[in-house]
């Protein structure tokens, strides 16, 4: 078929993390990923196999290492500042689009996976993975409804605990919440990347909400410290009511795998809150 790579399995080098995650979901381990060490730290599910080469930072990947890896396909974000012409001298380059305005983050995640599946001659597998995800998220949606479907804040607390970056809008988190039938407790506005950096008092606006906080490995200690002495945090209805949970290893700019990892954890937290 046109646009597919002749020989399988393909050697994929991904400067875009989303591309690496999608490749893993399609059963193809990439030969190289930009900033592989940080990828392993932030996107633990599914884990990046041992031996995947580090391509250097995603804003300036090492072209010579990339060349030495002999990839068939290079995945790069549409917004990347890396010279596309150079990459094209190494292998075929595929740009992963930014979040489209209008259509949700969930459709975006499915779309990028299917697109890669088409390129790798794994359309059927991509279809299966997408269908499984659709089925699973429908089930999770029922469980979320059973747990009362409260509005949800999804955020990352800044060190010091005075600000929080909230996710939603056109991004992945916004799309997943929509699929789970949960409303985003933060009304926005969100940036084109689906983020909003606001003061902690933004978490007080929706008294019945549940707060889901991304847990950064490097910030766990800071997190405990910054909420220990944080009077406003302790006064938040969600915190007082125990309606609060930590999301481990979730990167909010990933693909379908990240989406499912987030959805599973979110629903588990909602259910635990219902029981507790």
List of residues contacting other proteins (CB under 8 A)? 17, 35, 38, 53-60, 62-65, 67-68, 77-86, 89-90, 95, 97-99, 156, 158-163, 165, 171, 189, 191-201, 204, 207, 216-219, 229-233, 235-237, 240, 253
Smaller CB separation from other proteins, 60 or 145:
60
C-alpha 98/C-alpha 145 separation (Å) is 31
Angle formed at CA 158 by CA 157 and CA 163, multiple of 5 degrees? 85
Shortest separation between residue 73's beta carbon and other proteins, angstroms? 18
Smaller CB separation from other proteins, 129 or 256:
256
- Say whether the peptide bond before residue 4 is cis (omega within 30 degrees of 0): no
Q: For the range 198-203, what are the long-range contacts, defined as Cβ-Cβ under 8 Å and sequence gap of 24 or more?
A: 198/163, 198/164, 198/165, 198/166, 199/162, 199/163, 199/164, 200/157, 200/161, 200/162, 200/163, 200/164, 200/230, 200/232, 200/233, 201/232, 202/164, 202/166, 203/153, 203/155, 203/164, 203/236, 203/238
Shortest separation between residue 92's beta carbon and other proteins, angstroms? 16
Shortest separation between residue 6's beta carbon and other proteins, angstroms? 22
Shortest separation between residue 175's beta carbon and other proteins, angstroms? 15
Smaller CB separation from other proteins, 106 or 108:
108
Smaller CB separation from other proteins, 144 or 238:
238
Structure token digits, residue 2: 């046109």
Shortest separation between residue 191's beta carbon and other proteins, angstroms? 4
Smaller CB separation from other proteins, 137 or 167:
167
3-state secondary structure of 76: strand
């Amino acid at each position: 078929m046109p646009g597919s790579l002749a020989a399988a399995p393909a050697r994929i080098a991904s400067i875009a993390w989303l591309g690496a995650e999608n490749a893993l979901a399609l059963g193809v381990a990439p030969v190289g990923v930009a900033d592989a060490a940080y990828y392993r730290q932030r996107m633990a599910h599914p884990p990046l196999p041992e031996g995947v080469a580090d391509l250097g930072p995603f804003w300036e990947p090492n072209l010579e290492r990339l060349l030495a890896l002999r990839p068939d396909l290079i995945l790069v974000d549409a917004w990347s500042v890396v010279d596309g012409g150079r990459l094209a001298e190494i292998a075929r380059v595929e740009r992963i689009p930014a979040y489209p305005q209008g259509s949700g983050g969930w459709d975006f995640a499915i779309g990028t996976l299917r697109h890669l599946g088409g390129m790798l001659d794994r359309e059927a597998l991509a279809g299966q993975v997408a269908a499984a995800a659709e089925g699973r998220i429908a089930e999770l949606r029922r469980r979320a409804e059973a747990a009362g479907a409260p509005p949800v804040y999804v955020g990352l607390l800044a060190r010091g605990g005075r600000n929080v970056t909230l996710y939603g809008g056109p991004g992945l988190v916004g799309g997943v919440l929509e699929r789970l039938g949960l409303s985003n407790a933060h009304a926005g506005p969100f940036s084109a990347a689906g983020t909003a950096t606001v003061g902690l008092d933004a978490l007080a606006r929706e008294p019945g909400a549940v707060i889901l906080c991304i847990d950064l490995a490097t910030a766990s200690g800071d997190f405990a410290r910054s909420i220990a002495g944080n009077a406003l945090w302790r006064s938040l209805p969600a915190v007082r009511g125990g309606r609060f949970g930590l999301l481990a290893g979730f990167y909010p700019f990933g693909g379908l795998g990240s989406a499912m990892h987030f959805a599973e954890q979110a629903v588990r937290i909602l259910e635990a809150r219902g029981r507790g």
